[in-house]
Structure 1
Amino acid sequence: MRRGLPLRAVAPNAVTALALCSGLSGVQFAIKARMMEDGLALRTGADLAALADRVGMHWQLAAAFVLIAGILDGIDGRIARLLHGESRFGAELDSLADAISFGVSPALILYLWSLSSLPRFGWIAALMLAVFCALRLARFNANIDSDEQPHKSAGFLTGVPAPAGAALAFLPLFLWFWTEEPLFRSPYVVAPWTALVALLMVSSVATWSWTSMRLRRNIRFEVLAGVVVVGAAAVSAPWHTTSALSLAYLLAIPFSVASYAKIRRLRAPTAGAAAVVPPSA
């Protein structure tokens, strides 16, 4: 048998690598923004306002590159299935890239942006986000407690997925971009919020998997129109839109938990009946 990675698997793996590069590039912009902020205290003159604008732009680029990594992560698997290029190598690379792009990178960006003002507990919150993201991906790969966890076949995931977790962790950052409210940058707000998102990532709560959901025929046009509206809003007001989408996803979690509980109750009688059927002779 021929060994090695087939040529058709190169394209999806290249997209995964680009997602990894994008997530790490966000850290680079965050480091630059923090260095420029430290220099603001030593600068005076008319160029102070221009430098402050550059600092804000770098913070926005840091968050934007993590969001771009999320978009690339969402299409690499579809490219692999389209080209029939699925491979064990690609699956492992995807998990490693997700751990860095949606765990390590957001944790470092949030630490440089806010959590460093609360060194001890801020670093603990950043570590929770990075490590719990890796633990979630490891649990997904190992299928630990698969009988007790929400099943993707029913349209649900176990806990908050890594890309959505990164977006939720960035919610205070998104709100700060367009409100410039100092409260959203306070480490006393960002640290507990980051820890909460980290716990949601490793939790067993059922969250909707949009890739497994099926739309009714009578609302497909309305959903398409809604996607167009959201796309237009993302272009004209990106941080308002990302804030609204993050809040909407957070508010949808209780409904997904209730929906999965209803499905489990409906499946329970069927499973019980199958268990009492005697084996055929």
Structure 2
Amino acid sequence: MKRFSTRRSDPNSDHVERVPFLQLVPNMVTLAGMCLGLTSIRFAMDERFATAVFLILLAAVIDGLDGLIARRLQATSEIGAQLDSLSDFLCFGVAPGVLVYHYLLTPAGGIGWIFVLIFAAATCLRLARFNVMSGKPQEDDKSSPYFLGVPAPAGAMLGLLPAFATLAGVVDFREAPLVVALWLGIVGLLMISKLKTLSPKAIKVPRRLIGPMMFATVIGIGLGFSRPWLFFLALDLVYLGLVIRSLAKARWRLFA
């Protein structure tokens, strides 16, 4: 997300350039998210895995807020866009990889670490591609059949799916580190792929499902407070279902 910019002050002038405080808010929010990602790594290394996962989730929420705040305050700039990408790489590429490695992949040793590196590299490539494409004219939804891979925050959530399942007590993936390693590799491929998929605007919900969907929302909120890890696991599985649906109809191409 592009954020604040200022004019250069005259080096021969005694005038001190000042920037409105509100112009700084989006970047301060982004830095707060970066701090959460870095702190998640610290807690993962201290084996406080539930806290580490929660901090990544909170960083994802902040990642959605900083762009919204920047647009509302009209405080967008190139430096903000780059800062956002660097924060995203730390929060959604490095932090989830380190967390999953310490929590689930330690028994796999070097093989597990290789897949962590693959996941982090895929996140980096996904963000770099986004930065390059954001400076080019974008096609409308009707003429552009591809989305540029799973977004970095969504990729982080998919990468954490084994951690959600383990914390929820559904499946203990600590007993299957090679499966977790392979899963990180698959998520990495999804982030650097192009999938032919329907635009969200094109998805229509049958009227008969509106009531059940509203009721499911209420159940989901209650589940989120009583069994939060099961709730996040369910959200992850729903999103994974949408990705699989896209794959089933896709002309799948690896990122180039």
Fold shared per TM-score above 0.5? yes
**Corresponding residue number in structure 2 for 1:191:** 181
Opposite residue 162 of structure 2, the aligned amino acid is P
> Does the 8 Å CA contact 1:60/1:177 hold for their aligned counterparts?
yes
Structure-2 separation of matches of 1:138 and 1:240: 33
Q: What is the Cα deviation at residue 115 of structure 1?
A: 1.8
Q: What is the Cα deviation at residue 229 of structure 1?
A: 3.7
Residues 106-117 of structure 1: matches in 2 within 5 Å?
A: 106-117=96-107
Opposite residue 193 of structure 1, the aligned amino acid is W
Residues 53-64 of structure 1: matches in 2 within 5 Å?
A: 58-64=48-54
Describe the shift of the 1:182–1:128 C-alpha distance in structure 2 as closer, same or farther (beyond 3 A). same
> Does the 8 Å CA contact 2:165/2:230 hold for their aligned counterparts?
yes
Q: What is the Cα deviation at residue 19 of structure 1?
A: 1.1
- Out of 38, 44, 50, the residue aligned to residue 30 of structure 1 is 44
Query: How many residues get paired?
Result: 235
- Out of 2, 24, 27, the residue aligned to residue 7 of structure 2 is 2
Greater Cα offset, 252-261 or 214-223: 214-223
Structure-2 separation of matches of 1:203 and 1:91: 22
**Corresponding residue number in structure 2 for 1:251:** 241
Structure-2 separation of matches of 1:201 and 1:70: 16
Opposite residue 185 of structure 2, the aligned amino acid is A
Q: Deviations over 1:201-249 (max 9, x none)?
A: 1111246776x67877968887666544433321221111111111111
TM-score (norm 1): 0.72
Q: What is the Cα deviation at residue 149 of structure 1?
A: 9.6
Choose 1 or 2 for highest CA Rg: 1
Structure-2 separation of matches of 1:20 and 1:228: 32
Structure 2 unaligned runs (5+)? 1-5, 9-16, 252-256
Q: What is the Cα deviation at residue 87 of structure 1?
A: 1.3
Greater Cα offset, 172-181 or 75-84: 172-181
Describe the shift of the 1:11–1:147 C-alpha distance in structure 2 as closer, same or farther (beyond 3 A). closer
**Corresponding residue number in structure 1 for 2:33:** 19
**Corresponding residue number in structure 1 for 2:71:** 81
Q: What is the Cα deviation at residue 72 of structure 1?
A: 0.7
Larger helix percent: 1
Q: Deviations over 1:13-70 (max 9, x none)?
A: 111111111111111111111xxxxxxxxxxxxxxxxxxxxxxxx2111111101111
CA-based RMSD: 3.4
Opposite residue 76 of structure 1, the aligned amino acid is D
**Corresponding residue number in structure 2 for 1:279:** none
Structure-2 separation of matches of 1:216 and 1:190: 34
TM-score (norm 2): 0.78
